[in-house]
Amino acid sequence: MRDWTTDGCHPNPVGHRVLAKAILPVLAAPIGHAARIRKRMERSRQPVRVVCFGDSVTGVYYHTGSRRAYTAMLGLALQAAVPGVRIQAINAGISGHTTANGLARIDKDVLAHKPDIVTVMFGLNDMTGVSLVDYRKNLVTIVEKCRTIGAEVVLATPNNVIDTPRRPTGQLVEYCDVVRSVSRELKVPVCDCYRGFDAMRHRDRDDWRLLMSDQIHPNMDGHRRIARHLARSITGRAVDLADVHPIQPGVPRTLSLLKSGQPIRVLAMPPYDVSIVGVLQKLQPGARVEVTRWPTQEQSLKAIEQDAAKRVRPMKPDLVLVAVPRSAVAKSGEEFISSYSWLMNYSLSYSHQQWDCVVIHPSVSEPDSNDTARGALVRRLVRAQDLHLVDRPRDSRIPAKQILEDWFSQQLMSKSK
């Protein structure tokens, strides 16, 4: 120490060389990994197959709108990062799965696709039932199996979570440390989603909270962030996914039923339980529309959320119209975010989309020239869920039914795009 510091603390020129020698390999490793993988992608004459392997955070479920997840966003990000390369992104995420479950299905769900790149993100379920020792062994085996077929592997730490007794942050950190350790040991790149999310939580907790659909699952805004982190780990290049909007059309099942002349079962909050029949029949004269009214009058947002949990999935409608009135208040900002998020979650099928769900902003039926911060929050929450929002144009006094008709007409046109 005395030979490379000036005062026992601050490095002298010799000390600076020692530090540089120690730091350089740490910096060079991810750069080297990314350069190698990017070069492989650029040389490929076939679509680059990327398999995202994981649990419910990886899979397609309600928390990202039931139509896509970060796998799809990663495909878009990689195409932006490496122009001209065709990407085939394959989702191999299943709810509740651990690394042990993953190993049991890796041959069928991952290796059978003959992937060029495999991203691996497990841990949020492992931490509740798989020991750290077994978690490490399983990750090592997963990497080795993927390497055996020539695939590049990127390990990812799980996102951080809202601290609960079942998933305490301190324990999650230990599992993330295992991922980093295996990455160093096997010399594979690591995408540190945990640190990325946690840095945001420390920088702006409110913004971080709006990335979460529930206690452990990020919403689509969170998935955009995961995809950006992964794309940078894979290619070494930063990309922006802010301009990626919900999939068009927003009501594919409804449009399909209209075209085929089959009945459409609608669950709608007032006042749209009355107007939706005329709207759909204007698009398709003679359309058969069966409407169930979803009452919201004099209910708190929490009560509507609890009703949604019992009402929507058992009914399995074709179209759900969520229109929370301004009168549905919450006790706090956190309760508003949680209840509104869970209301949307419960209004969607658990996994892949089985019915359409559209959110209608309160300004459509209750115009307010002084649109509040809460109105802006609704817009952000709906976009974060990757759902479509029917909204009132700024400074418009158009009747609510006309806004709804215009929106559905646009959806009909978007089908041909």
Residue 9: predicted pLDDT: 62
Q: Which CATH number fits domain 252-414: 3.40.50.1360, 3.40.50.300, 3.40.50.1110, 3.40.50.1100?
A: 3.40.50.1110
* Per-residue burial over 320-351, b = 16 or more CB atoms within 10 Å of its CB, e = otherwise: bbbbbbeebebeeeeebbbbbbbbbbbbbbee
Residue 268: predicted pLDDT: 99
Residue 394: predicted pLDDT: 87
- pLDDT tens-digit profile, the chain (417 residues): 556 666 556 667 665 554 445 434 444 445 578 899 999 999 988 999 999 999 999 999 999 999 999 999 999 999 999 999 999 999 999 999 999 999 999 999 999 999 999 999 999 999 999 999 999 999 999 999 999 999 999 999 999 999 999 999 999 999 999 999 999 999 999 999 999 999 999 999 999 999 999 999 999 999 999 999 999 999 999 999 999 999 999 999 999 999 999 999 999 999 999 999 999 999 999 999 999 999 999 999 999 999 999 999 999 999 999 999 999 999 999 999 999 999 999 999 999 999 999 999 999 999 976 768 899 999 999 999 999 999 999 888 999 999 999 999 999 988 544
378 three-class SS:
helix
Residue 368: predicted pLDDT: 77
Residue 29: predicted pLDDT: 46
Residue 375: predicted pLDDT: 94
**Same fold yes or no, 2-235 and 252-414:** yes
Q: What residue has token string 């397609």?
A: 60
CA 199 to chain centre: 18
Largest CA distance in the chain: 89
CATH topology of domain 2-235: Rossmann fold (3.40.50)
Predicted structure pTM score: 0.91
Q: By the 8 A CB rule, do 272 and 404 touch?
A: yes
Q: E-strand spans in 218-324?
A: 264-268, 289-293, 319-322
Residue 282: predicted pLDDT: 96
CA distance 246 to 52: 21
Q: By the 8 A CB rule, do 56 and 222 touch?
A: no
Residue 28: predicted pLDDT: 44
Rounded to whole angstroms, what are the CA distances from 252 to 193, 258, 386, 401? 33, 10, 15, 21
Domain boundaries, the chain: 2-235, 252-414
Model confidence over 266-280: pLDDT tens digits?
999 999 999 999 999
Residue 379: predicted pLDDT: 97
